[in-house]
Amino acid sequence: MTQAAPAGTPAFTVDDSGWVVGVRHCMSPNFGPRPSGTPVVLAVVHSISLPPGVYGGDAIERLFTNRLDWNEHPYYGEIRGMEVSAHFLVERDGNVVQFVSCDQRAWHAGRSHWQGQDNCNDFSIGIELEGLEGEPFDALQYPVLVGLLTALAGRYPLRAVAGHEHVAAGRKCDPGPGFDWPRLMAALAWPDRCFPEQVRLTAP
């Protein structure tokens, strides 16, 4: 799916090794190879804040690079020892950090299922938005997400965008009701089939 970035959104470029040009790179050790011959067809939108509801700081970056001090906050004890990552983090101010090449398999979706396929990490790109499920996301994050998805769709055969809640129903609830799916759909102007049925049913 190839198209120019919509007006008013950042135009990103993905290089031949799966890294986006011009954003900050902070390499995570938490990745692996995709199964041979597996195309990247899905983008999974997540939300994250550490501690929950606290924005800013470098705790997310330290989590994704296995440097988080588990004793620093009571909540961190609940996730002690987790080794996770995502391809991208879009911060509240719209800044982007990339942790894993899009050619590689990041550890973001966990047990998951999408359109007849298990293990979404194998065929997806994970994009974390700094935020808390149920709370609104910052207006600055939407055009950046649109620009990223547009660039990724120009480099990979993406055919769908879903939330973590859609690929891990009953286990995860992010990005949650605070995420404006109609806004994303209108900005991308991709066919309705590219979005989860639950989202299409609630779109105006």
Summarize pLDDT for 148-158 with one digit per residue, the tens.
999 999 999 99
Confidence at residue 200, expressed as pLDDT on a 0 to 100 scale: 74
pLDDT at site 2: 57
b/e per residue 131-160 (b: at least 16 CB within 10 A): bbbeeebbeebbbbbbbbbbbbbbbbebbb
What is the residue-level pLDDT of the chain in tens, covering all 204 positions?
656 677 678 999 999 999 999 999 999 999 999 999 999 999 999 999 999 999 999 999 999 999 999 999 999 999 999 999 999 999 999 999 999 999 999 999 999 999 999 999 999 999 999 999 999 999 999 999 999 999 999 999 999 999 999 999 999 999 999 999 999 999 999 999 999 988 876 666
Q: Which residues are catalytic?
A: 128
Is omega for the bond preceding 74 within 30 degrees of 0, making it cis?
A: no
pLDDT of residue 127: 99
Q: Which helix (H) or strand (E) holds 174?
A: none
Read off the amino acid at residue 45.
Answer: V
pLDDT for 112 equals: 98
Residues contacting 80, CB < 8 A, separation 6+:
70
Confidence (pTM): 0.96
Distance CA 36, CA 69 (A): 36
Q: Which two tokens stand for residue 140?
A: 């600055």
What is the predicted pLDDT for the residue at 204?
62
Ranges of each domain in the chain: 24-202
C-alpha span between 76 and 18 (Å, rounded): 31
Contacts of 159 (CB under 8 A, 6+ apart): 1, 41, 42, 193, 194
| pLDDT for position 9 | 84
CATH superfamily of 24-202: Peptidoglycan recognition protein-like (3.40.80.10)
Rounded Cα–Cα distance for residues 79 and 151 (Å): 33
Which residue blocks in the chain are alpha helix, DSSP H?
59-64, 141-155, 164-167, 181-188, 197-202
Q: Is residue 5 within 8 Å of residue 147, measured between CB atoms?
A: yes
